[in-house]
Amino acid sequence: MFLVPLLVLQQGPSIRVLDQLAQSRNVAVLTKYLSSDPAGGRSPFNLLRTNGAYEVGRFGWHALPLKGVDGQEYVIFSTPLTSEDTGELVFKRDGQTLEFVPESESFGVKLVRHSFDLRFDVPSKKAILVDRLRLSGNPSRPAFLFRMSPQYIVSSIKDKDGRPVPFLEAGGVVSTKMPAGVDVYAISYSASVDQPNYAGSIGPKEATLTNDYWYPMVARQPTPYDLVVHTQPSWIAIGQGDLVVDKTVGQERTFQYRMDLPCVFYSVSAGPFKKVTAEIHGKIYSCWSSTMTTRQMQAQAELYAPIIEFYSRFMPFPFKGYGAIDSEVYGGGALEAYSFTTWGHGSLPMEDAHEPSHTWWGGIVNNTYLGSFWNESFAVFSDGLYHRNAEIGSVAERRQAFIQSGEGNDSYNQVAIAKSGADVGGIGSSLGYGKGGQVLQMLEQLLGTDKMIQTMQEWIRKCHGTASDWSEYESVVAQLNPDRDIKSFFDDWIRKPGYADLKVSDVHFADGRVRMKVAFGGASYRIPLEVMLQFADGSRVFKTIDLKSPGYVEIACDRKPDILSVDPWRRILRRIEPDEQPVELSRFVAQYSRYSDPSHTDYLTNVGGKGVQAPPPDDPAGTFLVGNPATMPTLNKLCRAAGFTVNGSQLTYDGTTIDLNDGCAMAVVDLGGGKTCVIGMGKTRVAPDFGRARLVLTDGLGHFLRGKTEPKTSGYLTFRL
């Protein structure tokens, strides 16, 4: 442990001491230097320990001195940054103490619009920028701070009349003179950009500033911008918004984008990409890649059309089109840019409904990530909402197949969603991508889908173009549902950590009613308690109760059920036991060894298995069989058991016929004695999406058309009467 001498504590820490403490991540000692107790008991220095939401701090921390142009002394705790995370901790220095300056501090400055000119020096891995930033200031204050990633070094700032504006920089923080009213600051800056798979990266295959803070920010204010990118003639540059110029003069190609949607996170990439487009219903859908096939890129472009059209019910889509970049240097996963998404190489094509939803959740309504990851919660929920309600195939069967699991995890117990900004580390990400979406699915159960969509539409109407968070959404939900006691739901699920440990006992039927006792192990939560009653003839009735507190629950029932299943679709946010999972394709396809019909090796090439068996299996149990009954006779009986009728390349299931040259069918087949196998046939350009179903039919793009999904009929919270 690093020990600070008592004399140093009394006289105030030197930069050398603070830097040593930063490098050793000594949060306890650093916190002692704060001028006041941390808000909510959470020290801003905790970030040095949590490494932010996306591993900010992985390259180490340093303390740097900064004397503002107004004479104010600061200490900057600096580290290389990545997007949607937080870092560059700023403290005012006053002798012995440090006063935290949160990133939400605006200093009275309003950013109006950026106008960027960007050049890449590829051999030197350098980005060279000028930002003609229109801004307004509070003339009663002499100076303000703006932030970027620390590798961006400012060389000059000039006002609208070309006069030098004083500035000083340390790490990613710049102190400069406050504008007197409205002004335009021409900020010239550059950086060596070489952090592939983490932030920006420049090389011969791609130059990208995506996932980086390559632009001046104040309080993460949503701001529109114009962008001019200069590249070599064989390259394509992709920026946010709409392309307004693409011209080549000599050995330089220039792209200009206009981004009128105010946003917080900016993306731009350039490289020797191929581009494929599809015009569908007046919008241009695109895919850019250096390595994907034209067929794959065309599929990706086509997949976006129904997704964008579905989400346009929230508010009309604000751009001329949407697309995806297949990037060889972007890290794992994807990053939304509102008019396109940047994907790590090897992920596409896929039916991605998550990233496009960020045009509304993060783009039209902005999130700074300083308070919570609410927009990720809405993206997760919207992805499910799309898959459950898209008018492709059977909507009724979709609504069962694409219910999100309500399974909780221990990270939910550590902090409430309402206090889960990037500074809490990976927990914030877990709550945003996990718990928040599960909570919204329960809210949909309470309100109904139409009412849920209405709340989302109204939130956008009231808050578009601004940064928002859960409290503003709650206000909208409460306003539209004055009789539903919305506050108690948000108290339990947004302002309280944890998840439900649901317990049910004393289940019995008498006098036309099923009665049961509902309790919680630990804290109680308001839940939409869904119950399935299954009768001797196989018929089922589903009922949902708005359970506000534990106790006895009664359900009117005109006959005795054989089975009572509590939470039959497993969507309550709770502890879920392993024995509750019904039969699902996704589980068995991953577990079973695969045998492929030699006559149809082109079937289901994008669906996995645990390997390929050389000889046909005598016993199909525990096997994933891929082929056509005409050349693989074993499948004849199994297809009949699944309800499939196959005639050449035509397969019919329950009145729906697909062409196996442009679609697929898969099913888990019961063999008796608790044994099963999986059968599959057909060809798709995109891996089929079967959600939770045990049987599925898709089209050539992998869209779910028909399916069979089972509720829970055994295991925990299931009772035989």
Burial of 39 (0-12, 13-18, 19+ CB in 10 A): exposed
Residues 58 and 122 placed together within one structural domain of the fold: no
In a domain, 326, yes or no: no
Residue linked to tokens 């069967």? 397
Residues 618 and 527 occupy one common structural domain: no
Place of tokens 């004695």: 673
What is the per-residue pLDDT for 11? 56
Same domain, 92 and 132: no
Last residue of a domain, one of 101, 133, 155: 101
CATH of the domain at 239: 2.60.40.1730
Asked if residues 411 and 373 have their Cβ atoms less than 8 Å apart, the reply is no
Strands 201-202 and 663-672: unpaired
CATH of the domain at 535: 2.60.40
Question: By the 8 A CB rule, do 268 and 193 touch?
Answer: no
The pTM of this model reads 0.96
Are 515 and 540 within one domain? Answer: yes
Instruction: Report pLDDT for 335.
Output: 97
Residue 1 · residue 21 · CB < 8 Å: no
Instruction: Enumerate residues 6+ apart whose C-beta is below 8 A from 461.
Output: 315
Would you state the structure tokens that stand for residue 227, as one six-digit string?
């962008």
* pLDDT tens sequence across 304-323: 999 999 999 999 999 999 99
| pLDDT in the model for residue 615 | 64
Q: Among 240, 272, 304, which residue terminates a domain?
A: 272
Task: List, for residues 172-204, the tens digit of each pLDDT value.
Answer: 999 999 999 999 999 999 999 999 999 999 999
Range of the domain at 572: 502-581+715-720
628 plus 514 within the same structural domain: no
Strand order in the sheet with 242-249: 153-158, 182-192, 126-136, 110-121, 223-231, 252-263, 242-249
Let me know if residue 408 belongs to a domain.
Answer: no
Question: In terms of domains, do 210 and 66 share one?
Answer: no
| pLDDT at residue 612 in the model | 66
**Residue written as tokens 């006559």?**
599
Whole-number pLDDT of residue 69: 98
Instruction: From 630, 613, 631, 614, select the one nearest 622 (Cα to Cα).
Output: 613
Confirm whether 446 is domain-assigned.
no
DSSP state of 433: I
Phi, psi of 371 (to 5 degrees): -105, -45
* Model pLDDT, residue 611: 60
Residues 573 and 590 in one domain: no
pLDDT score of 608: 82
Q: Please check whether residues 516 and 604 belong to one and the same domain.
A: no
- 658-716 pLDDT tens trace: 999 999 999 999 999 999 999 999 999 999 999 999 999 999 999 999 999 999 999 99
Q: Burial level of 510, CB count in 10 A (0-12/13-18/19+)?
A: exposed
Helix (H) or strand (E) holding 182: strand 182-192
Nearest to 376 by CA among 330, 326, 426, 303: 426
Whether 8 shows a pLDDT value over 50: the answer reads no
* Total number of domains constituting the chain: 4
For helices 449-463 and 436-447, angle between their N-to-C axes, nearest 10 degrees: 120
What backbone phi and psi angles, to 5 degrees, belong to 412?
A: -65, -20
- How many angstroms from the chain centroid is the CA of residue 542? 31
For residue 420, being part of any structural domain is answered with no
Distance CA 331, CA 323 (A): 18
Question: For 538-560, what is the mean pLDDT?
Answer: 95
- Short-list 458, 223, 217, 490, CA closest to 360: 458
pLDDT in tens, 49-74: 999 999 999 999 999 999 999 999 99
pLDDT of residue 537: 95
Cis peptide bond prior to 629, omega within 30° of 0: no
Where residue 38 falls among pLDDT bands split at 50, 70, 90? confident
Same domain, 565 and 599: no
